[in-house]
Chains A and B, each alone.
Chain A
Amino acid sequence: MKGPIPEIPAPIWRNFKDLQEWELLHKTRPVDDKHSVLFESVTEGIHSFPGGFVVTTAADAFLNWARKSSVWPVTFGLACCAIEMMATFCSRFDVERLGMVPWASPRHSDLMIVSGTVTIKMAPMLLRIYDQMPDPKWAVSMGSCANSGGPFRHGYHVVKGVDRVIPVDVYVPGCPPPPESLLNGLLLLQEQIKHFKRTGQRAAPNEKVD
């Protein structure tokens, strides 16, 4: 017999009204990803030990290499961008050579590619799926609609940018972005993951655009 449905705590993301406000937070982003305090203190101890930094930086580089080489995106298609996302997953563009396996469960995934228009009715479900993904997790906003609302920005039912719902790491422009664009965004994301901090803090957003 099932118990009552646990209440999901209110996300702080819904307080953001526009992109500038979100960017301000992104710069001073709190330690969002969960990490073990014990593990952190142990690694801090090794790091401060004479010569120990060699171990920690090597371990850090190795772990980040492992993370970046096995980014599993949850298959989350919302609109026409999902067609381009599927094309990216398929054999012609083949992101599996980058270690990405499109996985149909958020519990096993590291990345959410928000591909398409997010309506206000869909936003709570998107948030729930994002909350179900284990930390550390990343999000790619794909296409104009997910970036800012796109052509539907002045509609009454569209979330004006998915970054009002979840934190986004890479924005891929285009309407819809071709698979090459998404591939470029995923490569930028891998570049960011490579600089993922030991304590679970994010790297600064990548300067490189092209």
Chain B
Amino acid sequence: MSLDEARSAIGARFSGAEVGTGTPLVVTVSPGQWAELAAFAKETLGCRFFSFLTAVDWKEPGLEVVAKVDNLDDGLAVMMKTRLGPGVSTCASLTPIYRGADWMERECWDMFGIRFDGHPDLRRILLDDTWEGHPLLKSYAVDTPHPPYR
């Protein structure tokens, strides 16, 4: 599936989606359509390679979850984004659709505190289990001494 076909298919399927023009194809949907878009990208667009999932903290506008999936056969890359809104830190999990999203979402929970609904095993992956806070949030006090060793 080519880039233009993918763009028109997404536009026809998701009415409220903002679809970019360049490559990778940037698609911004509402959080409610997040898992639906991923399923659509996998089944219809053929994006079977899960590249990465991360998040951005935009302070007042809230968190944004970003995931990139690739169709390696056709050279199609889709960057999926969703704005969770101010104060919201829950999002639908992509793990039932892409198994590769498992550890990425655990890391996202670790660093940003985003709770992925439907994730089978959501716990910290990089930091210690006893860690307080989520360090990549802008509100995290980096220089404040915390026990131990700080």
Co-assembled chains A and B: yes
Question: Using Cβ atoms and an 8 Å threshold, which residues of chain A touch B127?
Answer: 121, 157
Chain B interface residue count, Cβ-Cβ cutoff 8 angstroms = 11
Instruction: Please determine whether B149 and A154 come into contact, CB atoms closer than 8 angstroms.
Output: no
Interface size for A (C-beta < 8 A) is: 13
Q: Are A159 and B142 in contact (CB under 8 A)?
A: no
Q: How far is the CB of A47 from chain B (nearest CB, A)?
A: 41
Decide if A49 is an interface residue (CB 8 Å cutoff). no
**A165: Cβ under 8 A from any B Cβ:** yes
Instruction: Assess the B142–A156 pair: CB atoms within 8 A.
Output: yes
Contacting residues, chain A, for B128 (C-beta < 8 A): 120-121
Smallest Cβ distance from A122 to chain B, in angstroms? Answer: 10
* A79 CB within 8 Å of chain B: no
CB within 8 Å of A: which B119-140 residues: 127-128, 135, 140
C-alpha gap A156/B148 in the complex (Å) = 12
Residues of A close to B143: CB separation below 8 A = 154
Is residue A123 within 8 Å, beta carbon to beta carbon, of the partner chain? Answer: yes
Q: Which residues of B contact A (CB under 8 A)?
A: 127-128, 135, 140, 142-143, 145, 147-150
A residues neighboring B (CB under 8 Å)? 14, 17, 120-121, 123, 154-157, 159-160, 164-165
**Sampled A-B contacts (11; CB under 8 Å):** A120-B148, A120-B149, A120-B150, A121-B127, A155-B142, A156-B135, A156-B142, A157-B135, A159-B149, A160-B150, A164-B150
